[in-house]
Amino acid sequence: MGNVSLKRWAGLFGIYAKMDMAALFRDTKFMLVAVISDIASDISGISGIFLLAWRFDGIGGLDKFEILFMLAYGGIVNGTIMVLDGGNSSFPSRIIGRGQWEHKFIMPLPYSVQMFGFFPFTCSGRLVSGIILMIIAVLNLPALPAWWIAVLIVNVIISIVIVVALSYLVSSLAFYAPVQCEEISTSIRYSAEYTATFPLSGMPLYMKLPLLTVFPAGLIAWLPTLIILGKTPALANFYPIIFAVLLSLIAAHFFKKGFRYYVKKGINRYHAGGHRS
């Protein structure tokens, strides 16, 4: 956290929450419609997979409510990221490509603090829908062990680290090609979120392996769900955290390398008059 104390962090999060509430009450009708629309959109986005599971009483060894649990887990992961997204913080290629990176360094706060926010009112639709769906799934599953909530929280954190690290890894390319790669993190993030809604159970190894390594969409929802439900070998339980650590180290290395290049070359997206190309 650098030199920022926990008290300062709490104060900043309180300010973010007040600003978010102010946005809600500035036009309450519009914001409530937007939040409800987000919830409806998120639920409809995963309904196809769940309806398939309902029709065939499961997919690839997972019954319909285990599939619902997986879909809800993915919603909680991505919803939490949205609630804590401090203005494109999980899409760093946008910040780099738009020439806004150096703006961060004139602010009187460490970069790590600026990249967090707290939007519990206007950006909570996906998180709320994920929690609702998970409650429905759990109520229809056999009794889970008493420790399942703790395992859930740990795996959600690991999945968030994987999503954000993947975004930062690909965003390092924006230091070299800001125009072409401005939205590369957006494409990767949304592709991973969409692919994560498909259960990998029953897929052949040649299809499953890339989704657990090169493009780790299977680590956003599918494998963590199996871990929480106790459907994996003991050694597999450690794979997500090992992968998250390695991916974070790789992302940090290439992001720093790209930043050093950026410091030497600067941004080329602005003309002398200040207009973005």
The average pLDDT across 138-166 equals 94
- Check residue 42 and give its pLDDT: 80
Q: Which two three-digit tokens encode residue 177?
A: 């090609």
Residues 6+ positions from 255 with CB-CB distance below 8 Å: 92, 168, 169, 171, 172
Beta bridge partners of 59: 62
Helical axes 148-171 vs 64-83, angle rounded to 10°: 60
Q: Of 15-29, 67-81, 192-206, 260-274, which one has max mean pLDDT? A: 67-81
Q: Count the neighbouring beta carbons within 10 Å of the beta carbon of residue 208.
A: 16
- Check residue 41 and give its pLDDT: 81
Q: Write the pLDDT tens digit of every residue in 55-84.
A: 998 888 899 999 999 999 999 999 999 998
The average pLDDT across 134-141 equals 95
3-state secondary structure at position 62: strand
Which pTM was predicted? 0.90
Q: Write the pLDDT tens digit of every residue in 115-126.
A: 778 888 888 888
Region class of 123: left (phi > 0), else alpha (psi between -120 and 50), else beta: alpha
Boundaries of every domain in the chain: 6-265
Q: Flag whether pLDDT at 1 surpasses 50.
A: no
